[in-house]
Homo-oligomer: A and B are copies of this chain.
Amino acid sequence: MDNGKSRLEAFSDGVLAIIITIMVLEMKVPNGDDLSALRPLVPVFLSYVLSFIYIGIYWNNHHHMLLLTQRVSGSVLWANLHLLFWVSLIPFATGWMGENHFAVAPTALYGLPLLMAAVAFWLLQRAIMATQGAESLLAIALGHNYRGKLSLVLYAMAIPLAFFQQWIAGAIYALVALMWLVPDRRIERALASQSESHDAGLQNRWHRPRDG
């Protein structure tokens, strides 16, 4: 019955699958036929790995959020397209950073689609919550809150910092990716114990399984 949601998922899956895959096209087949011909590709490869992880994280988070979504509205469809737009710029930013061996400007610019995609993900979350009513989704919205907000702050820091020391920006990008890769439960328990005094009433939700 809720056809709208399944097509939204299918279209998003398609776009994310293409984005994650076309990045590999930036790794142009080198001219030489010995292993040293691969050396200039090392930074391209590293930026591919980083971006693959980022898009994997977006697919993962998108997947979890949609699992808890019952219906989609026109504004959800557009908020979703807005998210896909910024994610679609990651391959370009990846290619520019990789081919210039993590030079200053490309490394700063790499943070921009990441920052905007994080904003877009937050807007999508809000659009879904507006459609659903507050009770069920509010839970995951808050659950992803700490990491989501922290990511925003870190991206916003990384972009200007790249102009001083680009390796700091690179480290921040890697750190944020790592933060999302660590299984939910451990981080969430840690955060929950830290925030106990702050908001005790929400705590028992941390122990609920995520993947229904």
Contacts and interface: CB of A to CB of B under 8 A. Distances in A.
Nearest to A72: B211
B18 A14 contact: yes
A22 interface: yes
A89 interface: yes
A197 interface: no
The number of times this chain is found in the oligomer is 4
A interface bracket (residues with beta carbon within 8 Å of B): 35 or more
Interface in A1-27: 1-4, 7, 9-11, 13-22, 24-27
Contacts of A212: 1-4
B25 A96 contact: no
Interface of A: 1-4, 7, 9-11, 13-22, 24-27, 29-30, 33-35, 37-38, 49, 52, 56, 59-60, 63, 66-67, 71-75, 77-78, 81, 84-85, 88-89, 91-92, 95-96, 99-100, 103-106, 109, 181, 183-184, 210-212
B105 A33 contact: yes
B3 A210 contact: no
A7 B9 contact: yes
B63 A33 contact: no
B18 A18 contact: yes
A81 B49 CA distance: 11
B17 A11 contact: yes
Given A22-B21, A26-B29, A85 B13 contact: no
